[in-house]
Structure 1
Amino acid sequence: MNAKELVLRIVSLNDVVLHEQIENKRVEKLIERLKQDRLLKNPPIVSEFQDKYIVLDGASRTTALKQMNCRDVVVQIVDYTAPGIVLETWNHMLLDAPVNKFFDAVRAMSGVRVEPVTMEQATDALAQRKSIATIMLGNGKVYSLCAQDDRLPEHARILNAVVAAYEGRGEMYRVAHTDVERLIAEHGRLSALIVFPRYRPDEIRQLALNGSKLPMGVTRHIIPGRALRINLPLAILESAQSLEEKNAWLDDWLTTKIRERHARFYQEPVFLFDE
């Protein structure tokens, strides 16, 4: 891949939609940084579909700009069907959380059944979408959460309620695997592991276009060739110029960056220490 394959575009924020919830504290911190720097360092990554731009990565940045009354945003557009783009899932590891209170809250929720199962049954149910999540407790007990309604927006509603039941109670970390024994060995204070299903791109599109959102920190998009450190002045996004004028400027800017070799592609994974 090289810089000429990048697709950067300035679009109206009114046409940008999210598929996941945001964390208000994170957005507030971003607003402070944006006001101080007056630069958008990294563009949100989106998939274009039905005249909308679905945010795959960058929900907090998008929301921060909207709350700052920014008219437009620069985005990196990717092909959601490209083989290099992978949609995976984060699971939520809970440490020192009041599991009994959380469990009581889940059992009291409307539209969902809590069923005790084996690990194998839970894995199969989640893969076949017979359940919408798995709860694995530190004591070895496993439960499937089964929705009474097959509609995806209803699943999202329930999952948001489930996450709200443990959010802010104990410590929560995102993990990519489901090895409880390993987590107990590494952390010792494991209360529970919440395992979410692996979604498909068409489901993400459906949620975003219908105005439904998954909890934050569930979907994990692996996207090669991310554009970082573009450092676009907010004044460009805030100006009253037309999108055509702004994108003409952006094309000239990008061409100059490439011609003067200010854009580099790193084939290997890298660590960033100024996020």
Structure 2
Amino acid sequence: MSSFLIPHSGLTLEIRCLDLEDVHIHEEIVPEMLERLAESIENDKVLKHPVIVDAASHVVLDGMHRVAAMKMIGCVRIACCLVDYMDKRIKIGRWYRTVKGEAVSRCGDLLAEASIPQVACSRTCQEHIDAGEAEAAIESPQTHILIPSSNRGLIEAYRTVKRLEEIFRSHGCSVDYSTEADAFARLRDGKIDAVLLTPLIDKETVVAEALKGNVFVHKATRHVIPARPLNIDVPLELLRDERVPLEVVNSRLSEILRGRVVTRFPANSLIDGRRYEEETFVFS
């Protein structure tokens, strides 16, 4: 199968197209985000960035909404950057929710009104979460609350997280997403009122659930890839015609990419208004 390869410190980035029906998302789609993205891609007439996909299982690690958007606008293929997901240099983390609003002071009562079980922490919330003893936890300067594990699995645990987000938002709070370290730094600095802690998900669970057609809520996993390609600008017309064999599509894609200049940027570079913590290979 023709493809374009970018060697990177022993971890190969392989750019090639896959049939959309053969890739598997692992997080749910947010309709508002999908509509905006589909319109943007249609207007650009190219797919700017490839989705990051596990080479072995074709599970999407980054780019769920691009997959859905490409389907929405009538494409049958999508450009992917294939990686070895089980490589130790690819990390999986989580997004903590940061909460700001007066209702945080009443969160125990809000959970009780919603019939969500809660218990006090006997250790730090982080320790309970990482031991698998809780589906979620809420930590503020005044409050340390655990949502005890129901033993229904991580998909259901994250549905509980989503429900907690909805409760806070419905009572006028803002809810955002941060890394673990950033969330607690913001809490210490008084920039937020609480941190909603979420459980760890391992790579094997991501793959297993995705291949069964199950999806986690939005912002469940945070994948850190050592490097990624950007601005490959694949013409949509190349991705729409199902009559063209996939091998031919990939030959054309490789030809397009070989004709481009690739610039390597170090980690934490600002590209098109976004800061990437990984190295990037930018096509032009």
Normalised to the residue count of structure 1, the TM-score between the two structures is 0.84
Unaligned runs of 5+ in 2: 275-284
- Indicate whether 1:210 and 2:198 are aligned: no
User: What SS does structure 2 have at the residue aligned with 1:17?
Assistant: coil
| Partner Cα distance (2:189, 2:25) in 1 | 34
Distance apart, 1:177 and its partner CA: 2.6
| Partner Cα distance (1:155, 1:142) in 2 | 18
Distance 1:207 1:13, change over 3 A: same
Distance apart, 1:232 and its partner CA: 0.6
User: What SS does structure 2 have at the residue aligned with 1:226?
Assistant: strand
Pairing partner for 1:122 from 112, 121, 125: 125
Pairing partner for 1:62 from 52, 64, 67: 67
Aligned to 2:279: none
| Partner Cα distance (2:71, 2:109) in 1 | 37
| Partner Cα distance (2:213, 2:113) in 1 | 26
- Percent of matched pairs sharing the same residue: 23
Distance apart, 1:216 and its partner CA: 1.4
Q: How many residues are aligned here?
A: 264
Cα distance per residue 1:151-205 (max 9 Å; x no partner): 33332433333333335743222221357774245344x3321111222100111
- Whether the 8 Å CA contact 1:22–1:216 is kept in 2: the answer is yes
Distance 1:248 1:97, change over 3 A: farther
1:93-242 equivalences under 5 Å are: 93-96=98-101, 98-99=103-104, 106-107=111-112, 113-118=117-122, 120-137=123-140, 139-167=141-169, 169-177=172-180, 182-188=185-191, 190-240=192-242, 241-242=244-245
User: What SS does structure 2 have at the residue aligned with 1:81?
Assistant: coil
Aligned to 1:29: 36
User: What SS does structure 1 have at the residue aligned with 2:201?
Assistant: coil
Q: Partner amino acid for 1:243?
A: L
Pairing partner for 1:48 from 42, 45, 55: 55
Cα distance per residue 1:44-78 (max 9 Å; x no partner): 1011344xx21111111111112222111111111
Which stretch of structure 1 is more off in the superposition, 156-165 or 101-110? 101-110
| Partner Cα distance (1:100, 1:268) in 2 | 39
| Partner Cα distance (2:232, 2:62) in 1 | 16
- Whether the 8 Å CA contact 2:125–2:139 is kept in 1: the answer is no
Distance 1:166 1:9, change over 3 A: farther
| Partner Cα distance (2:51, 2:211) in 1 | 17
Q: Which has the higher contact order (CA 8 A, sep 6+)?
A: 1
CA RMSD of aligned residues (A): 2.6
Pairing partner for 1:78 from 80, 83, 92: 83
| Partner Cα distance (2:214, 2:113) in 1 | 22
- Whether the 8 Å CA contact 1:3–1:263 is kept in 2: the answer is no
